[in-house]
Structure 1
Amino acid sequence: MGFTFAQWGYITLLVACTLTGSCMANKSWPGYSSNYTSGWGHRQVYHHPNKTDAPNKISVGGSENWHFGFNYSEWALKNGPFYLNDILVFKYDPPKNDSHPHSVYLLPDLKSFKSCNFSHARMLASTTQGGDEGFEFALKSWQPYYFACGESNGVHCNLGGMKFMVMPALRGWNF
C-alpha cells in the first residue's frame, strides 16, 4: 500500500518545517540576546537558549503567560526550536466573575489549527488548571503539535492570537 498524494504532501511539509526550524536555530536573529563565540578567522555561532542536552521547561508566552491578545505563533518562532521531551508550561488566571477564562486544547491537524475548528480537538487543560505553577505538557513525540485556547467559541484562537504550532526537533541534530 502506497501513500496518497495528500499524505506525501503532508510528509514533505513536515520534513521541510523540521529542517527549516533546525537550520534557523543556529542563526542570529534580531531581538535575541547576544550569545556569540567568535575570534579572528572564526565564524560567529549563535547558541540558542533552548539548546541543552536535558529537557527544558518553557513557559508559554514567557512573562506574558497565556492570555488573549498576544501572538503565540510569533512567540513560538522567536523562542524555538523546541526539542523532544521539552515541557511547555501554560500559566493563566483561573476564571473570575468578570473575567474571560482560558483553556488549552490540542488540535488534530493543520486544517483545524488554521480555522480554529475544535470539533475533533482534545482538551489538555481546563479553565482552572493554569493557575499557580501552571499546566505542563511534554513534547513526547516527533510530530507537529497544534495548541490553542478553546474558549469563547474559538474567538480566543481566531482573534486573540491564542494558538501556536510546535514541531519538536531531535536533540543533538545540527544542520
Structure 2
Amino acid sequence: MSPDGPTFDPIAKARDNWSNAGWGDVADGMVAVTSVMRAHQILLARVEAALRPFDLSFSRFELLRLLAFSRTGALPITKASVRLQVHVTSVTHAIRRLESVGLVERIPHPTDGRTTLVRITDIGRSTVEEATNTLNDDVFADIGLPADQSRALVDAIETLRRSAGDF
C-alpha cells in the first residue's frame, strides 16, 4: 500500500470484526474470499502496467496469445470463447477493439459458411510476442511469492475451480 496506507493488515482487522459480530464460524471463508479479491487487484494492476505500452488489456492479450498459439493463427469465435472461459459477447468486443487497430481480422470459415474465424495479423503476432516478453520479465518471473508458495496457490485455486465445475 502507499506510504499513507494502513500500518496494519485490513483483512486481519476484517476477520476480527467478523468474529466480534458473531460470524467467527465463517470468518476464514470471508478472509479467503477477500484475500483472493485483493490479490487479484494487485496482480491485475501489475499486468495492466506491463501491457499499457502495447495498448492492451489482459483480456485482449489473452485472445492474441491464444490465436498466436493456435496452429493456423485462427479460431472460430465460439471456440475462442470456450477456451478463454468468457461469453462470446466479451470475445466479440475484444475482437472489435483488436480489429480496429489491425491486430486481428475476421475471415469466413473455409468449409462452414455459418462460422466466422478470427485470425491474428502479422502486426498482432509481433505485438503479442513483445507483450509476452514484457509480461514474462515484469510480472510472471516474480509474482511476489517464492516458487513453492506459487505452486501451492495454484493447487489450492485448482481445487476451488474443480469444485465449482470449472473443468
Q: TM-score range by the shorter chain?
A: under 0.3
Greater relative contact order (Cα < 8 A, sep 6+):
1
Name the structure where strand makes up a greater proportion of residues: 1
TM-score by structure 1 length?
0.24
Name the structure where helix makes up a greater proportion of residues: 2
